[in-house]
């Protein structure tokens, strides 16, 4: 039931966002930190969101996406231990503050929904620093954290690229 509800929310969000200005799509890749360094080798994520300019400096918006952590494989003699991949759907509110025409910092805050077995997900946060390359492409460096229920935290550091489909109009 939870997965069906998420699918409906993302479908409605995608339809609403496609008619708006400031639609952003992006990809990122990174490495796990702390609790998952032994279980996951690298992560790949995809993002879709919409930002509204509140003026020349601050943007607010919503974002959603998918995170996939590729599991490590261990070989001990003739035994291979395959760990499960770790996956999340994320939904969050976003804020960006532009310190100049090219640099920004901000954060996404929301919920990371676990997709694989025994993964309930938890509170999602992603602080990031961005550099605008041209009018519609942004390079960003970010830290992602998801507070999981079993006193562990999914944490990664990643580099990504976001492309604005429709440019945000500033006041």
Q: From first to last of the 171 residues of the chain, give the pLDDT tens digit.
A: 455 555 555 554 554 444 345 899 999 999 999 888 888 999 999 999 999 888 889 999 999 999 999 988 766 666 666 778 999 999 999 999 999 878 999 999 999 999 998 888 999 999 999 999 988 899 999 999 999 987 889 999 999 999 988 655 544
Global pTM reads 0.81
In sequence order, what E strands does 3-152 have? 23-33, 40-53, 58-71, 73-76, 79-82, 86-98, 103-114, 122-133, 137-148
State the pLDDT at residue 167. Answer: 56
Domains of the chain: 2-164 (2.40.160.20)
């Amino acid at each position: 039931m939870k997965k069906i509800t998420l699918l409906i929310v993302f479908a409605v969000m995608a339809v609403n966002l496609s008619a708006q200005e400031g639609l952003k799509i992006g990809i990122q890749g990174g490495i796990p930190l702390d609790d998952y360094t032994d279980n996951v080798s690298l992560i790949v994520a995809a993002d879709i969101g919409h930002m509204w300019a509140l003026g020349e400096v601050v943007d607010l918006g919503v974002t959603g996406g998918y995170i996939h952590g590729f599991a490590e494989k261990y070989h001990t003699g003739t035994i291979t231990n395959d760990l499960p991949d770790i996956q999340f759907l994320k939904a969050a509110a976003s804020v960006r503050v532009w310190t100049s025409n090219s640099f920004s910092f901000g954060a996404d805050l929301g919920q990371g929904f676990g997709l694989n077995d025994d993964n309930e997900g938890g509170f999602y946060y992603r602080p990031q620093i961005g550099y605008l390359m041209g009018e519609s492409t942004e390079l960003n460096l970010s830290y992602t954290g998801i507070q999981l229920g079993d006193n562990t935290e999914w944490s990664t550091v990643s580099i990504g690229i976001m492309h604005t489909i429709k440019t945000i109009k500033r006041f």
